[in-house]
Amino acid sequence: MQNVSNPFGNFKYDIPASVVVFLVALPLCLGIALASGAPLLSGIIAGIVGGIVIGSLSGSNLSVSGPAAGLTAIVIQAIHDLGAYQTFLLAVVIAGILQFILGLLRAGSIGHFFPSSVIKGMLSAIGLILILKQIPHALGYDKDYEGDEAFFQPDGENTFSEILSAVNYLSPGAIVVCLVTIGILILWDNPVLKKHKIFQYIPGPLVAVLTGIILNVIFQSSGTIFAIQPEHMVTLPISKNFDDFLSLFSAPDFSQIGNPKIYITAITLALVASLESLLSIEACDKLDEFKRITPLNRELRAQGIGNFVSGLIGGLPITAVIVRSSANINSGARTKLSTILHGLMLLTAVVFIPTVLNMIPLAALAGILLMTGYKLTKPSLYREMFRKGWEQFIPFIVTIIAILITNLLVGIFIGIVVGVFFVLKSNFYEAISIVKHGDNYLLRLNYSVSFLNKSILRQTFERIPEGSNLIIDGGGSQFIDADIIETIQDFILNAPSRNIQVELKKSFSSASEFFRKSN
What's 486's domain CATH number? Answer: 3.30.750.24
Q: Is the pLDDT of residue 516 over 70?
A: no
Residue 417 lies in a domain: no
- Mean pLDDT score, 140-148: 89
What pLDDT does residue 487 have? 87
Cα–Cα dist 233/416, whole Å: 39
What pLDDT does residue 460 have? 87
Query: Taking the CA of residue 374 as centre, how many other CA atoms within 13 Å lie in the half-sphere pointing to its CB?
Result: 10
What pLDDT does residue 419 have? 84
Write phi, then psi, for 470 (nearest 5 degrees): -125, 130
Residue 399 lies in a domain: no
Answer yes or no: do 353 and 493 share one domain.
no
State if pTM tops 0.85.
Answer: no
Report the b/e string of 37-66 with b at 16+ CB within 10 A.
Answer: bbbbbbbbbbbbbbbbbbbebbbbbbbbbb
Answer yes or no: do 352 and 477 share one domain.
no
Answer yes or no: do 67 and 174 share one domain.
yes
Q: Please, what is the angle between helix 72-82 and helix 260-287, to 10°?
A: 170
What pLDDT does residue 427 have? 64
* H-only helix segments in 189-295: 191-194, 197-201, 204-222, 242-246, 260-287
Answer yes or no: do 186 and 318 share one domain.
yes
Q: Is the pLDDT of residue 513 over 50?
A: no
What pLDDT does residue 394 have? 93
Q: Is the pLDDT of residue 1 over 50?
A: no
Coil vs helix vs strand at 65: strand
Answer yes or no: do 369 and 477 share one domain.
no
Share of residues in the chain with pLDDT > 90 (%): 60
Between 483 and 318, the more confident residue is: 318
Could you give the number of structural domains in the chain? 2
Q: Is the pLDDT of residue 239 over 70?
A: yes
Per-residue pLDDT band at 329 (split at 50, 70, 90): very high
Q: Is the pLDDT of residue 219 over 60?
A: yes
Q: Is the pLDDT of residue 46 over 60?
A: yes
Q: Is the pLDDT of residue 200 over 90?
A: no
Q: Is the pLDDT of residue 184 over 50?
A: yes
Answer yes or no: do 178 and 305 share one domain.
yes
What pLDDT does residue 76 have? 92
Residue 387 lies in a domain: no
Among 342, 359, 377, the domain boundary falls at 377
Answer yes or no: do 283 and 368 share one domain.
yes
Pairing type for strands 477-480 and 447-449 reads parallel
Q: Is the pLDDT of residue 253 over 70?
A: yes
Cα–Cα dist 381/404, whole Å: 17
What pLDDT does residue 518 have? 43
What pLDDT does residue 474 have? 80
What pLDDT does residue 439 have? 86
What pLDDT does residue 202 have? 83
Q: Is-contact 411 404, C-beta < 8 A?
A: yes
Per-residue pLDDT band at 240 (split at 50, 70, 90): confident
What pLDDT does residue 506 have? 54
Answer yes or no: do 369 and 436 share one domain.
no
Query: Taking the CA of residue 53 as centre, how many other CA atoms within 13 Å lie in the half-sphere pointing to its CB?
Result: 24
Residue 15 lies in a domain: no
Answer yes or no: do 98 and 239 share one domain.
yes
Answer yes or no: do 364 and 494 share one domain.
no
What pLDDT does residue 423 have? 72
Between 232 and 421, the more confident residue is: 232
Between 131 and 146, the more confident residue is: 131
- Mean pLDDT score, 252-260: 95
- Mean pLDDT score, 69-85: 92
Q: Is the pLDDT of residue 113 over 50?
A: yes
Answer yes or no: do 32 and 98 share one domain.
yes
pLDDT tens, residue by residue, 261-310: 999 999 999 999 999 999 999 999 999 988 898 999 999 999 999 999 99
Owning domain of residue 466: 431-518
Tally Cβ neighbours within 10 Å of residue 362: 27
Cα–Cα dist 323/301, whole Å: 22
Answer yes or no: do 339 and 448 share one domain.
no
For the sheet with 440-445, list strands across it: 432-437, 440-445, 469-473, 501-504
